[in-house]
Amino acid sequence: MITLAGAYTAIVTPFTNDGSSVAVDRLAEQVHFQAEGGVRGIVPCGTTGEAPTLEEREHIAVIKCAVQVGRPLGLQIIAGAGSNSTAHAIHLHQLAAKLGADAALQVAPYYNKPSQEGLYQHFMAIAESADLPIVLYNIPGRSAVTITPETIERLAKHPNIVAVKEATGSMDSASEIRKRCSIAILSGDDSLTASFAAVGAVGVVSVVSNIVPDRVASLCRAIANNDFTALRKSHDELFALSRGLLSLDVNPVPLKCAMEVLGRDSGSVRLPLVRASETIRATIALLLRDAHVPALAAHASC
């Protein structure tokens, strides 16, 4: 069974400038950049990858590229495969297994607002559908429902449910999960990774590592080494940038703007998301400067 710990990049899906198609060549470049930065793995087709806008053929192409390019470079691939339809989530989960992913990220069903029993049965049905490890994705801000620590404890008894991405923003939730079971906890918010580590989290599914994978990997090594001095230093250096990328506009709008500023153009975001405003762009440029993130090439406005 896979061990999940360390830095995992919630990788963007690069589109052409008009957003009409996936730029697979750019995605391959991003995967190489992540491997060179020393992260443990990547998470394609997640929130940062604008998964709700991907057609199935694009979803397949993104995961296939991530696996074919990333696996030989030593990266673990946690493929986004969630849905608010249990039948569709099972289909995507089996597809991720077929494409060679190491695990699947399964988000709490959004919009439906199921009960805790409904959540339990949803995830158990997925876990039974394929022999592929599952990372639960607990993000009430987007799904409008929280997977409670009690439900996570129940789910963790299934051998295929091995980790949870905690994007609740709640130290209490993370603490209660750790008290109840030994499931691997991954922070779902870059600005809270150090805090979650203090109560037992073993890594992060990171947004900011799209642009500074080496620094997020270093932060996670400090967690693994119980080096809280180094952890605090890394956290302080990245805190303002991490918070800005997730608060100035909806993810991944600020991130894609930052990548363009740095010469790592990932194309447009897709509707219903729109490009960052010039005011936000200026703020992002300052955050990048203050965090000492160097530009790699001349850039255009995002």
Backbone angles phi, psi at 137, to 5 degrees: -120, 105
CA distances 236 to 23, 33, 199, 219, Å, are: 34, 24, 18, 11
Query: What is the rounded radius of gyration, in angstroms, for the C-alpha atoms of the chain?
Result: 18
* Whole-number Å distance between alpha carbons of 221 and 203: 9
First to last CA, the chain: 42
Active site residue 157: no
* Whole-number Å distance between alpha carbons of 148 and 140: 10
Catalytic: which of 8, 137, 157, 233?
Answer: 137
What's 11's DSSP letter?
A: -
Active site residue 113: no
Catalytic: which of 98, 111, 157, 165?
Answer: 165
* Whole-number Å distance between alpha carbons of 163 and 60: 23
Strand intervals (E) in the chain: 6-9, 41-42, 76-80, 103-107, 134-138, 161-166, 184-187, 203-206
DSSP secondary structure of 114-137? --HHHHHHHHHHHHHHSS--EEEE
Contact of 12 with 49, CB cutoff 8 Å: yes
By CB atoms closer than 10 A (0-12, 13-18, 19+), residue 129 is: middle
* Whole-number Å distance between alpha carbons of 7 and 90: 26
User: Which residues participate in catalysis according to the annotation?
Assistant: 137, 165
